[in-house]
A and B are shown apart, each in its own frame.
Chain A
Amino acid sequence: MPEDPEPDRQKLNWTGFANRDDQLLIVLSLVIGVLVGLTVVAFMLVTGRLSARMYPPDSAAWRRVLVPIAGALLSGYLLFRYFPGARGSGIPQTKFALFLEDGYISLKTVFGKLICCSISLASGIALGREGPSVQIGAGIASAIARRFGLSAENVKALVPAGAAAALAAAFNTPIAAVLFTLEEILGDLHAPVLGSVVLSSATSWIVLHLILGDQPLFHVPAYQLVSTAEFGIYAILGVVGGLGSVCFVKLLLGLRLWFRKLPRWTVWCQPAIGGLLVGLLGWFHPEVLGVGYDYVDRVLGGDFPLKTVILLAVLKIVATPVCYSSGNAGGIFGPSLFVGAMMGGAVGTVAHTLFPGSTANPGAYALVGMGTAFAGIVRTPLTSVIMIFEMTRDYSIIVPLMISNMISFFISQKLQQEPIYEALAHQEGVHLPTLQERGASGLTAADIMVKDAPMLPSAVSVESLRMETEKEQCKWWPVGDDGHLRGMATDRRGVTEIKTSFAHAHPDHSLSQLLERMREFKVDALPVVSRADIHRLIGVVTLRRILSVYEIQEEQAGAEFE
């Protein structure tokens, strides 16, 4: 009998899909697109109407101080008491859920995010709605997938679809939403879930258009490249954008670290500090309040004076990090576009004043500046280019965008090596797997580690330490107190020496990664810790165990060859 050259084809049914799970995933991608689109539109409309009621036209200035404080206090209490999972932007939380919790996001978190973000954003907190939308979308996708009894793998496959659908509706940029999901959420441009991500993004975008019409997020004037000399000015914009982005990120991370050190009982009222600051700034400059898209629109129209755009860029660079690090619910996408527009407006105004005949209106620079700040802060260069391209729908903007975005990205990468979401995760004690780690095949640390390895107390005697190390034939052993890993201990000439700065492994690390790490840090044992909390010990992996695994495999291989 000749062999079938394409045996897999026999497994396909009339729809072209291999099995019913694949069909269901496709159908659910569409359902997720619809539901997420409807929810995000409702979220945007509720926030907008609530904000209009908080700040009626010609309202008194005291509102601009008191409303953000009250909003931050209320949302802060709700987050602390009822919805701790809804804190922050939503992007890192979505990634945690995707990589550490099998895509699990509770509906309670989704509701919490909706309620708390609506309150804080409507009250004028200087954060954006796009990051929270991503978590809301991912949460809806996760809940739907679980309701349909899908496997953990399939739940994880649908979470990015929800995230993309949310971003497509929130930004009105379906292609950029797909790219962002691949570039930032999944960290893999070749992710196999591309099909469902594209489907849900497009569906959500259609829903947005059906309800709100063909209204763009920003009203962008026709883009113009007046002369080739402008490329040089766009390069300068890239430098300015890069430096501004680094300031923004460093300030945010530094402040977040400071707030984390405050006593735990203050967590519920910490957001009020952000509310107070934004309120005081808003007293003098109402433009700082909220995400400020109205003002972005005006800068794109080129009608803000130089002094104002510089001032607003600086104020937003201060206000958003304070609001975010103090624990308010909201994202940094919108504010980063605001900061970028202002920086671009400033560079454009200076350029247009100096060389009026050979430069475009400052609005063109504000537009490119938005992408520049996004590339520098969020560190998704491809998304930032495509997002602005989608907003303008003008091909001629691509090259200036690429020039300034790449320069900004490069500067940001040089001066702030860790990307913002990764750094925020590390501050939380979370180590997400890299693309390489996720692709690991074969045996992993979880397969060979000493499970239920006893963690010795910090004040361990050298005798007790010897007992454990001799049992596993290694020199190092984890120590800690109250289930909190503090370091690795060794017997140094009869004295216990503890290293608090130590190398660690995660359960999904491959054996080669473990060996590499042991060689790098010159140790023969590594604590295996949780990705969600690096101070939670799961097991211990030793060099002897790894070698023994290889010996067995070598013996088996030898036997086969014999």
Chain B
Amino acid sequence: MKVVPHLKVAVSLSLIAAGLLSLDRFLERTETSEIAREAESAYQRGTSLLQQRKNDQALEFLRKAHSLERENSGYELQLGNALAAAGKTDDAEPLIMEALGRRPTDGAANLAAAHLMVEMGEETAAESFFHRAIYGEWKADGANLRIATRFELVELLAEEKHKQEMLAELISLEAEAGNDRKIRKRLAHLLLLAGSPVRAAAVYRDLTNTGPTDSESLIGLGEAELADGNYRAARNSFLRAAMHNRGAAIESRLQLLDALTALDPMPRQLTSLEKYHRSIRILDLTRSDLEQLAESNPSRDSAQIGELLKQASDAIAKRQPPHVSNEVAEAVLSLAEQLWRARIQAFGASTSQDEESLRLLLERLGS
């Protein structure tokens, strides 16, 4: 065996191997960067389409992004989100759960799992994943993403009408929200939905103090005060809003508040006589509403309703007592409440715009 020629061949082969290795490295780097660019572009397009609710088109792009860069968990989760949004929960589940299995404390993965559970109708599991997402790890912009996640959770709770839990989340949000007007407006709106008009009004008031021309906040404040029964204050807020943004919606709210202010038997400065007159007016409106409903739906009429209507007619027809006390007015209002309850029991709650003032007043009286 000749050693020198073998040495020459070995050196040549080493040089060829080194050349091939350099070529491979260069090609691999080129491929990686090109694929990364292509995947990013597909991801952006898919995400944009997903935001436009074009789920099927979004899926195409997000699938491409995921298949180009399998190790990118962001692409994987977004594909899972798109699949879940398109109702393909069977396909989304393994994808999201696999990502979650790899990083159980990842905020984005938990959020995707929460979205999936919402789509699958598993609200309890969804709430749990939302909480894990809120307290999970986020790669960037964690504070804002946590707030956005908590808002999503609140909206889910709102849909389920879990007002207590909703309020608890909103109170946490109030502390996290900072001074961002957009976030605070959304917070105030949700506080109102959670049945806390006082807290909502406080946030709105704060917003109107720092932005007196912000008609949106003024309208919000008006709504919060309206829900709290402060009709005069609400009217003032709507009037201030109308100065910056007059529209049909504000007009209709002002008309309602005018009606409420005229009917409201609760203001402190009201005399007993005036309260009595307003009570009689409320009773009359309630009675005529119930009478109309009983006539148009005789099958749902009952002896109890007949009796109540008779009592109401008697009370209205009765001459005004010489001395009108607060108790007399309260008795009339109590009868009006009974009529309203009977109406709801037999014919359901009122949805009519015309009856809104009556409904608001009687609901407030009954609360």
Taking beta carbons and an 8 Å cutoff, which residues of A are in contact with B?
20, 24, 31, 34-35, 38-39, 41-42, 45-46, 48-49, 52, 57, 144, 147-149, 211-212, 215, 219, 221-222, 294, 297-298, 301-303, 361
Q: Which residue of A lies closest to B6 (CB)?
A: A148
Q: Which residue of A lies closest to B70 (CB)?
A: A219
Known A52-B34, A294-B67; contact A38-B24, beta-carbon cutoff 8 A: yes
CB-contact partner of B5 in A20, A149, A212, under 8 A: A149
A528 to chain B, nearest CB (A): 37
CB-contact partner of B13 in A35, A41, A52, A222, under 8 A: A35
Could you name 6 residue pairs across A and B whose Cβ atoms are closer than 8 Å?
Answer: A20-B1, A34-B17, A45-B31, A49-B31, A303-B88, A303-B91
Cβ < 8 Å to A, chain B residues 17-62? 17, 20-21, 23-25, 27-28, 30-31, 34, 38, 41-42
Q: Which residue of B lies closest to A222 (CB)?
A: B94
CA–CA, A24 and B21, complex, Å: 23
Q: Is the CB of A57 within 8 A of B41?
A: yes
CB-contact partner of B31 in A34, A35, A48, under 8 A: A48
Q: Which residue of B lies closest to A224 (CB)?
A: B94
CB-contact partner of A42 in B6, B9, B12, B23, under 8 A: B23
B63 proximal to A (CB < 8 A): yes
Contacts of B16 in A (CB 8 A): 35
Q: Which residue of A lies closest to B19 (CB)?
A: A38
Q: Is the CB of B28 within 8 A of A45?
A: yes
Known A20-B1, A211-B25; contact A49-B20, beta-carbon cutoff 8 A: no
Q: Which residue of A lies closest to B37 (CB)?
A: A57
Q: Is the CB of B63 within 8 A of A147?
A: no
CA–CA, A212 and B35, complex, Å: 13
CB-contact partner of A298 in B2, B34, B38, B67, under 8 A: B67
CA–CA, A41 and B30, complex, Å: 14
Q: Is the CB of A57 within 8 A of B38?
A: yes
CB-contact partner of A38 in B21, B31, B88, B90, under 8 A: B21
CA–CA, A41 and B34, complex, Å: 17
Rank and list the top 5 A-B pairs by shortest CB-CB distance, nearest first.
A45-B27, A38-B20, A147-B9, A211-B24, A41-B24
Contacts of A301 in B (CB 8 A): 91
Contacts of B25 in A (CB 8 A): 211
CA–CA, A35 and B2, complex, Å: 23
Contacts of A303 in B (CB 8 A): 63, 88, 91
CA–CA, A222 and B93, complex, Å: 13
Contacts of A34 in B (CB 8 A): 17
Q: Which residue of A lies closest to B28 (CB)?
A: A211
Q: Is the CB of A49 within 8 A of B28?
A: no
Contacts of A149 in B (CB 8 A): 2, 5
Q: Which residue of B lies closest to A146 (CB)?
A: B9
CA–CA, A144 and B9, complex, Å: 8
Q: Is the CB of A148 within 8 A of B9?
A: yes
How many B residues touch the partner, as a band?
A: 20 to 34
Q: Is the CB of A144 within 8 A of B28?
A: no
A22 to chain B, nearest CB (A): 12
- Most chain B beta-carbon contacts within 10 A, residue among A20, A45, A49, A303: A45
Cβ < 8 Å to A, chain B residues 90-144? 90-91, 94
Q: Is the CB of B91 within 8 A of A219?
A: no
CB-contact partner of A31 in B13, B38, B67, B88, under 8 A: B13
Known A31-B13, A38-B21; contact A49-B27, beta-carbon cutoff 8 A: yes
CB-contact partner of B24 in A42, A219, A294, under 8 A: A42
CB-contact partner of A302 in B34, B63, B91, under 8 A: B91
CA–CA, A48 and B13, complex, Å: 26
Cβ < 8 Å to A, chain B residues 201-260? none
Known A31-B13, A34-B17, A298-B63; contact A46-B27, beta-carbon cutoff 8 A: yes
Contacts of B70 in A (CB 8 A): 215, 219
B58 to chain A, nearest CB (A): 14
Contacts of B2 in A (CB 8 A): 149
A140 to chain B, nearest CB (A): 10
Contacts of A24 in B (CB 8 A): 1
CA–CA, A222 and B21, complex, Å: 34
Contacts of A48 in B (CB 8 A): 31
Contacts of B6 in A (CB 8 A): 148
CA–CA, A302 and B23, complex, Å: 36
A170 to chain B, nearest CB (A): 14
Contacts of B12 in A (CB 8 A): 147
Apart from A48-B31, A302-B91, list 20 A-B contacts with CB within 8 A: A20-B1, A31-B13, A35-B13, A35-B17, A38-B17, A41-B28, A42-B20, A42-B23, A42-B24, A45-B24, A45-B30, A57-B41, A148-B6, A211-B24, A211-B28, A221-B94, A222-B94, A298-B63, A298-B67, A303-B63
CA–CA, A499 and B88, complex, Å: 68
Q: Which residue of A lies closest to B91 (CB)?
A: A303
Q: Which residue of A lies closest to B94 (CB)?
A: A221
Contacts of B28 in A (CB 8 A): 41, 45, 211-212
B348 to chain A, nearest CB (A): 41
Contacts of A361 in B (CB 8 A): 90
B315 to chain A, nearest CB (A): 65
Contacts of A211 in B (CB 8 A): 21, 24-25, 28
A145 to chain B, nearest CB (A): 11
Contacts of A49 in B (CB 8 A): 27, 30-31, 34
